[in-house]
Amino acid sequence: MAAKKLTLEESFGSLDKIIQEMQTGELTLEQSFKKYEEGMKLIKNCNDAIDKVEKKLIVIDNVDTDE
């Protein structure tokens, strides 16, 4: 089964939770590394979503200036 693609808001929420967990200092080194990896995947998801929106805005802006 394919993993559900998170929305930008869900990704930010998950990142916030990871940051809070890591700041407690209660995670083992291995747990911290896993959280770090998970966070990096979420950041990539956020960047991809933002890039997609930026590209749409460029297209819309170009259409508006052509008229």
pLDDT tens digits, one per residue of 33-46 = 999 999 999 999 99
* pTM over cut 0.85: no
What is the rounded CA–CA span in Å between residue 14 and residue 4? Answer: 14
The model's confidence at residue 3, banded by pLDDT at 50, 70 and 90, is: low
pLDDT given for residue 61 in this prediction: 84
pLDDT given for residue 66 in this prediction: 65
What is the rounded CA–CA span in Å between residue 47 and residue 60? Answer: 20
- Tokens representing 36? 């770090």
